[in-house]
Structure 1
Amino acid sequence: MSASDSGGPAGLAWTVHCDGSAMPNPGRMGVGAVITAPDGTKHTLSQATHAIGCNNEAELLALTLALQDLRARGATTVRAYSDNSILVEQLGAAGARPVARMAGLFDEARALLGSFAHAQVQWIPRHRNSEADALARAALGFAPRPPARFRKRRR
């Protein structure tokens, strides 16, 4: 199934919140993911890579590693969430302009997504992906980002 398919039994879906960091950008890459089983059990992934890359590559690597983990766990229905609009656009839109230097990584992610009976990749705002972001940053030895402050507008 393609990344935009949303079918499948909702109660059997595994969810993934994934994020990646590169410090500096480009630089060392760290990946993080929160994988939630259909029964609500949470598993986390947090690791640094030996490769150098940009944030977009780290984000895609985080998704790929999480999908590999889900394959090993026997998952068949997956909902993945990322705050990286490039990743979501590339995996979900048939007519998206390819990012040439990351084509191999995108091909690998598409193949993994296609190996599930049902798979969906959806964009979420950064503040809803803070746990995966903290895991990616921790893999590189950095503290979580401070929460965003929302200011009240004056009229």
Structure 2
Amino acid sequence: MLKVYSDAAVNGNPGSAGIGIVITGAGMYTQLALPLEGQWDNHTAEFEAMRLAISWLVENDQTHSITQFFTDSQVVARSIEKKYVKSETFKPYLNECLALLESISYYEINWIPEKQNKGADNLAKQGLQKAIR
């Protein structure tokens, strides 16, 4: 089983942003701290963090395990769970996440409180510092 934690950090609204991803599983521990180019609002950056986390699994042939995704964004968790988002701004991100998730054998999307997402949060802040530089 894989556990995937994602988070975003944004400086301003909109502003510079970075994302953090932690992937753990049998014999695997991967951390990603990535800067995002351009200006981002928090929700869009959170969707991008989830999209990049799913993309990493697909690109690295990690799609056959049971996978639990964790995010502290209720918007992202609920939107993916319901396969619907009202905001036109978020629809392309949701649609891309859903398309990528079709490659995952079995997955769950879970909302967790911020305090349970500290690893991804710290990496997102590192990604944000890279984006600011």
- Same fold per superposition (TM over 0.5): yes
Aligned counterpart in structure 2 of residue 45 of structure 1, from 32, 45, 60: 32
CA distance in 1, matches of 2:43, 2:21: 15
Task: Say if 2:118 is the partner of 1:130.
Answer: yes
Task: Say if 2:60 is the partner of 1:65.
Answer: no
After the TM superposition, which residues 2-151 of structure 1 pair with which residues of structure 2 at under 5 Å, given as runs? 13-37=1-25, 39-75=26-62, 76=64, 77-94=66-83, 96-141=84-129
Aligned residues: 128
- Could you say what secondary structure the match of 2:89 adopts? helix
CA distance in 2, matches of 1:128, 1:20: 14
CA distance in 1, matches of 2:117, 2:94: 21
Q: TM-score, normalised by structure 2?
A: 0.89
CA distance in 1, matches of 2:88, 2:46: 16
The one-letter amino acid paired with 1:65 is L
* 1:98 to partner: Cα distance: 2.1
Extract unaligned runs of 5+ from structure 1.
1-12, 143-155
The one-letter amino acid paired with 1:54 is D
- Could you say what secondary structure the match of 1:32 adopts? strand
Query: Greater share of helix residues, 1 or 2?
Result: 2
* 1:58 to partner: Cα distance: 1.1
**What is the aligned-residue RMSD (CA, Å)?**
1.5
- Could you say what secondary structure the match of 1:120 adopts? strand
Which protein has the larger Cα radius of gyration, Structure 1 or Structure 2?
1
Contact 1:45 1:66 in 2 (8 A): no
* Percent of residue pairs identical: 27
Give per-residue Cα distances to partners, 1:76-96, cap 9 Å, x unaligned: 2321000100000100025x4
CA distance in 1, matches of 2:47, 2:61: 21
Q: TM-score, normalised by structure 1?
A: 0.77
Runs ≥4 residues deviating over 3 A: none
* 1:40 to partner: Cα distance: 4.3
